[in-house]
Structure 1
């Protein structure tokens, strides 16, 4: 299963979302996104998912390295994109909480396992 996620940047911070109690991996933090649907591009998926889940308008800009994560009941390919924010006010439709995190705060979150390599790649990219 392919899942696309956004590293949404604004004012030197990145949007992170906390999964709700009734989601898989409850209360862990992740980059927002969702499942790729048949016939849609990765970028279209990301624009749709952020509009549906957070009521945000975004533009995917840079694709980072996909992460293949195996758990006992499924395998996902998590495909991250650095995105630009184009508008909207965050409304939590599915998630429990959100934060605009500074880069140096990212390692402090309790991340979903699939998101951890993305955090590391993003920080390495930003440190140059």
Structure 2
């Protein structure tokens, strides 16, 4: 099983989501950005590194949400989400085709990667409980 971390980056009432490029697996679907945890690396260190590499952003991880195990045709991943805050940086897309700062109300309007769907649902439940 491949461990993958993803960041739910909250900023000014919105959340950063990214669209996979047409050349990636799960082409053109939306996801919370992140990447693989390398050997000997903590989940939060991997998350900070991946977001820096892929988006040129410095983030601060906060709360770990419920991991999702999902089997794609080629592999099984454990997707580990963290809510994060944006510390600094300007977005430069290294791998993705597009990004959006989405409001809570619009998150369900995107075509999500299958592994991200339960994370979107849990995140929305958490936000509703905070209202």
Classify the secondary structure of the residue corresponding to 2:9: strand
In the superposition, the TM-score normalised over structure 1's length comes to 0.99
Classify the secondary structure of the residue corresponding to 2:28: coil
Deviation readout 1:68-122 (Å, 9 max, x if unpaired):
0012221000000000100000000000000000001000000000000000000
Unaligned residue ranges in structure 2 (runs of 5+): none
Deviation readout 1:33-89 (Å, 9 max, x if unpaired):
000000100000000000000000001000000000012221000000000100000
Unaligned residue ranges in structure 1 (runs of 5+): none
In the superposition, the TM-score normalised over structure 2's length comes to 0.97
Which contiguous aligned blocks of 4+ residues in structure 1 show a shift greater than 3 angstroms? none
Distance between the aligned counterparts of 1:4 and 1:100, measured in 2?
A: 19
Distance between the aligned counterparts of 2:73 and 2:91, measured in 1?
A: 33
1:7 positional shift: 0.1
Which residue does the alignment assign to 1:36? 37
Which residue does the alignment assign to 2:123? 122
The count of residues paired between Structure 1 and Structure 2 equals 128
Q: Could you say what the CA RMSD is over the residues aligned between the two structures, in angstroms?
A: 0.4
